[in-house]
Structure 1
């Protein structure tokens, strides 16, 4: 799955500020509330993010976090993803002790978790690409972030095509 299939322009925020992880999760829930098909969707989304975080910190290191949540199937029939570029890094409790400034939040219907395991794996692989992260950090607008996602997808396609032609 391409980044541009998982993330959508309306769920990208650039230069946002949060005082804490809790405020960050509240904002993620707020950003996707219109896409949720359930009463009290914002609260449900926040609670799912918060509960999942209690199982283990989603800070991946190098200033990046990937909070995840399983949403009730009635809330949505597809994965929702939010990307946030923070203006000021926040303490996230990441294992490397560094504050985070890039957030890739992924919310998946609980009945489709198995479907998205390869997607999360691919996303994690992309997040370890220092050049990709550098481009995201230097983006000055949501449109520029979207262009970085498009370029990353194109690079992945080209790499995949080369690999297939070699076999």
Structure 2
């Protein structure tokens, strides 16, 4: 089970972000990732990160519906995936299938050499971010620290919920 806290560094959480377009959101994500990655590995180019996000978005819209999107892209270097979370001050048009504007963005950037293992967690991540109660709390958060606390709580709550489901599941076997 993937945890938000394993992917999302506190410095990559932004609350009340003012952005006018999908392009501007992707530029901001590229900037944040480039800043973080400069200290961890050689250097991730901000423009390359932005272009990778745009290229992936051209393959198919990364909106989940309900005002949430998970843009993602490959990083040319590194060993660990990183995430960026943006709570927008006002929703933007994202060309979503449900025609709803986006205000919660959880971007995931994955090193090329680790894509296979992270591709397997995308459905789980999408399921968690589709939780209406979680989204409501994230929308109402008033600071990056509060958003971090919501994700920490979601990690523990969702894990407890999954364990309870596993315990309730009938044993099968011969």
Q: Distance in 2 between matches of 1:85 and 1:104?
A: 9
**5 Å matches for 1:1-167?**
1-36=2-37, 37-39=41-43, 41-72=45-76, 74=77, 76-166=78-168, 167=171
Q: Distance in 2 between matches of 1:38 and 1:21?
A: 28
Distance change in 2, residues 1:42/1:111 (3 Å): same
Kindly name which structure, 1 or 2, has the bigger radius of gyration based on alpha carbons.
2
Q: Distance in 1 between matches of 2:5 and 2:45?
A: 24
**Number of paired residues?**
165
Distance change in 2, residues 1:39/1:9 (3 Å): closer
Q: Distance in 2 between matches of 1:164 and 1:62?
A: 28
| 1:142-166 Cα shifts (integer Å, max 9, x gaps) | 0110111011111122123323434
Shift of 1:38: 4.6
Q: Distance in 2 between matches of 1:78 and 1:45?
A: 15
| 1:83-133 Cα shifts (integer Å, max 9, x gaps) | 000001111111111110000100001121111123212110111110010
Q: Helix, strand or coil: the match of 1:89?
A: strand
Instruction: Tell me if the contact between 2:17 and 2:86 (Cα under 8 Å) persists in the aligned partners.
Output: yes
C-alpha RMSD of the superposition? 1.4
Instruction: Tell me if the contact between 2:61 and 2:96 (Cα under 8 Å) persists in the aligned partners.
Output: yes
Moved over 4 A (4+): none
Q: Distance in 1 between matches of 2:7 and 2:75?
A: 16
TM-score, length-scaled by structure 1: 0.93
